[in-house]
């Protein structure tokens, strides 16, 4: 395993209601470490991809454990897409 601190990138594929890559869709990423405040990052999708580049996972005592990652996208149709994932930081 890699040593901390580490810089990571979180990406999400964003598709429209027809399943095609969605461009210029507002996307919000939220990352919740187990013992620290939630961090957020907002951007618009580009060619169906939204990315949070350069998220730093530090090497302090708050970094370890299961982190919750949430992605929310607001489609032009008014539909909201959401997904959750987790990462284990050791």
Residue by residue, DSSP assigns 41-88 as EEEE-BTTEEEEEEEEE-SSTTS-EEEEEEEEEE-TTS-EEEEEEEEE
Q: What is the pLDDT of residues 19-42, one digit of tens each?
A: 999 999 999 999 999 888 899 999
> In the prediction, which pLDDT does 2 show?
60
Contact 25, 74 (CB under 8 A): yes
Predicted local distance difference test score (pLDDT) of residue 79: 95
What does the chain come to in residues?
90
In this structure, the dihedral spanned by the alpha carbons of residues 82, 14, 89 and 40, taken in order and rounded to 10 degrees, is -70
- The pLDDT, as a whole number, for residue 26 is 98
Report pTM. 0.86
Q: Which two tokens stand for residue 31?
A: 């990352």
- Kindly give the pairing relationship between strand 39-44 and strand 80-89: unpaired
Point out the residues of the chain with pLDDT beneath 50: none
pLDDT at position 70, please?
Answer: 97
């Amino acid at each position: 395993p890699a040593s901390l601190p580490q810089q990571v990138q979180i990406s999400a594929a964003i598709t429209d209601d027809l399943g095609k890559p969605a461009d210029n869709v507002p996307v919000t990423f939220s990352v919740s470490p187990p013992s620290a405040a939630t961090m957020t990052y907002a951007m618009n999708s580009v060619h169906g991809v939204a990315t949070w580049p350069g998220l730093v996972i530090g090497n302090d005592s708050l970094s370890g454990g299961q982190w919750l990652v949430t992605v929310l996208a607001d489609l032009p149709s008014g539909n909201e897409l959401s997904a959750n994932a987790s990462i284990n930081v050791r």
